[in-house]
Amino acid sequence: MPQASTAAHAAHPRINRSKQHGISIKAYQGDHMTLVAFDMDPALNTNDFVGFTIQYETPSGKKFYISNKINFTGEDKLVDSIDAPIQKFRWLHVPGNVHQTLNNTEYGTYTYYVTPRYYDKAAGKLKILDASLTASVTIPVGEFKHKLLELAFTRSYVNSQAYKYRFGDDTKIIPGGNWLFDTSKHFTTNHGDSYTYEQLYEYLGFTARKKILELLQEALNDKSITIEMFTYDFNEPDIANHCLELAKEGRIKIISDDYITQSKDKNTGKVKQDGHGLPDAPETLFFDMFNKAKKGKADIVRHHFKRYQHNKQIIFSKNWKNPYKVLTGSTNFSITGLCVNANHVVVFNDAQVAARYSEVFNAVWGDAGMKGFSKNKLATQPSTFNSGTTKLSVNYSPHEQAYAASLLTDMSNNIKSAKQSVFFSVMQMSGSGGDVMPALKAIQNNTKIFSYGVTDAVEKNAIRLYTPGSRTGILVDAQAITTLLPPPFDKEDTFKAHKIHHKFVVIDFNTPTGRVYCGSSNLALGGEESNADNLICIQDPEITTVFAIEALRLVDHFHFRALKLNTNQPILLKTDNEWAKPYFDKNDIKYLDRLLFA
């Protein structure tokens, strides 16, 4: 069972808590978002209890109610939670989705006000809000900056009511024609609103795209900054143009993937090819553009290992010496990677860490170094770094088979040894070998811990959606979602691309011994043996908390869309406390949920 006492979690400044009037609130700081969790004295959970009204106050003093798409009447509109209470014991607030203008969100210290609400069945309406029951908590909202690193994420919101609300249901994320187009180009939604592609990409790419472009612009502005860059998928126009500008100034070197896959067409039997090395691939076209533009020490090479050059990294140095910063993670520098996939970016602001990434880059620059890398000392042992209480280790692949297997077995053993929680968001769970994916599939059967995961590819019998009265974990297949939802939800678009591209696992979030595994590795034996990747392990309560919040965001989002609900029956708020009973049932995962967060 998750440890319910506050002593079970590490104390750190990114979590604030308050208990007033029988209501307990904990606010967790994520990256540009807040997880607000609440609990209540049992005496307040009466039969007529129908949820929580949540109001927030921005740094400038503006107050808004959290909006709810689900209401008492089934109306097709967002209703403030003062009239449509939230029937959950936690809420993830992403400022700017509703009440603020596109891409112009106010950040700083927010205050959240939470009030239990009650329903008068005889009158057929909500009772008036009782302000004497309101509890509040404050929390910083904005960029996540840690002494060692910064974190950033994409939205993965193309299947969402928020995206439909902003951009309608017929917006093309990628216009036809040249992939290297001017993103100031306008398009009109079926709502009649006009946006530029830059505005669309800024919204969907969220903090990950912003972070990447900010660092590239910083390099363009400072003529002493030089860059070493690994690319896999590569077709985001603004990123590409920044790189071409740096090439003209002789200040960037790139290792680009050129792997080509071959497969037989089931119908014709003909062999078909796909991949970055094909003549018409954006990566090939960019290679030619770069070579025409480059000057001085700027250079680009194309590599694959046994399989993919799968890293996505930017290493920053001063005049090709003294690396001081590195951007890595799961995010491809592509429109799909930033605008459709769920991805993360990690920026290490540490010279020792950056120097090690640069060492790897230079070790694989030539064919000989690339082909022999699995025997290089950089690939046969972890690179470890400590910063205060934060512990960091990085493994660079491809590895020899024995070392790759031992890495995944060690990770699997940590998953099996979890004391209170396991969160994960991984692209696929049907990968080629290793112990990690079997451990993630099995962990949901451990009813003593809270297990919550989402993936894009898994065997059907491993999927586990919420079952009332069961403490087993949740595992959602994001590819199995429906775009046709019950009223009052609008139909959503779908896109033929991975929804989940993350590769992270969080074990015992917000505890001193907890850890997160992240980076570009697909966490499978085939990839660890054949692909160039980096597998990162971080032990730090603040960092594991941010990744756990990201997992919550994605699991909840895709779980609702995977339920296959009756699309002819509108979803309505309950008018009694039946919705709340699972949160107090010791045999239900929602009980673990309430204890763990609130």
Residues 210-263: tens digit of each pLDDT = 999 999 999 999 999 999 999 999 999 999 999 999 999 999 999 999 999 988
Of 584, 551, 575, the C-alpha closest to 92 is 551
pLDDT band at 483 (very low <50, low <70, confident <90, very high): confident
Distance CA 520, CA 533 (A): 6
Residues 6+ apart with CB under 8 A from 568: 486
Give the whole-number percent of the chain exceeding pLDDT 90. 80
| CATH topology identical between 143-371 and 378-567 | yes
Across 68-77, 396-405, 571-580, least confident range: 68-77
Cis peptide before 85 (omega within 30 of 0): no
pTM for this model (two decimals): 0.95
The helix (H) or strand (E) run that includes residue 225 is strand 225-231
DSSP per-residue letters across 51-69: EEEEEEE-TTS-EEEPEES
Distance CA 239, CA 180 (A): 10
168 sits in the region (left: phi over 0; alpha: psi -120 to 50; else beta) called left
SS3 252: strand
Residues 6+ apart with CB under 8 A from 350: 148, 149, 325, 385, 387
Burial 213-234 (b: 16+ CB within 10 A, else e): bebbeebeeeeebbbbbbbbbb
Note the pLDDT of residue 177: 84
Residue-wise pLDDT tens digits, 158-193:
888 888 888 887 788 888 889 999 999 999 988 888
User: Residue 330 has which token pair?
Assistant: 């799961």
Task: Select 378-567's CATH number: 3.20.20.450, 3.40.190.10, 3.40.50.720, 3.30.870.10.
Answer: 3.30.870.10
Distance CA 107, CA 526 (A): 43
The label of the residue with tokens 């996939």 reads: 341
User: Residue 153 has which token pair?
Assistant: 């994420």
Predicted confidence (pLDDT) at residue 498 exceeds the cutoff of 90: no
Distance CA 469, CA 451 (A): 15
Note the pLDDT of residue 8: 45
Predicted confidence (pLDDT) at residue 313 exceeds the cutoff of 90: yes
- Per-residue pLDDT, averaged over 273-298, amounts to 97
Note the pLDDT of residue 4: 36
Can you state the angle between helices 282-293 and 237-248, rounded to 10 degrees?
A: 30
Distance CA 524, CA 520 (A): 11
CATH homologous superfamily, domain 6-142:
Immunoglobulins (2.60.40.10)
Note the pLDDT of residue 9: 53
Note the pLDDT of residue 3: 36
| Strand 474-477 with 450-455, pairing | parallel
Radius of gyration of the chain, Cα coordinates, nearest whole angstrom = 24
Distance CA 429, CA 410 (A): 18
Distance CA 564, CA 106 (A): 36
**Residue 64: Cβ-neighbour burial (10 angstroms; 0-12, 13-18, 19+):** middle
Predicted confidence (pLDDT) at residue 329 exceeds the cutoff of 90: yes
**What CATH fold (topology level) applies to the domain 143-371?**
Endonuclease; Chain A (3.30.870)
Note the pLDDT of residue 198: 96
pLDDT band at 530 (very low <50, low <70, confident <90, very high): very high
DSSP 326: E
Taking each continuous run of H as one helix and of E as one strand, the counts in the chain are 13, 31
Residue extents of the structural domains in the chain: 6-142, 143-371, 378-567
Across 3-17, 121-135, 195-209, 243-257, least confident range: 3-17
SS (H, E, C) 163-189: HHHHHCCCCCCCCCCCCCCCCCCEEEC
SS3 536: strand
Note the pLDDT of residue 10: 53
Write the CA distances from 19 to 16, 34, 37, 49, integer angstroms.
Answer: 11, 18, 12, 19
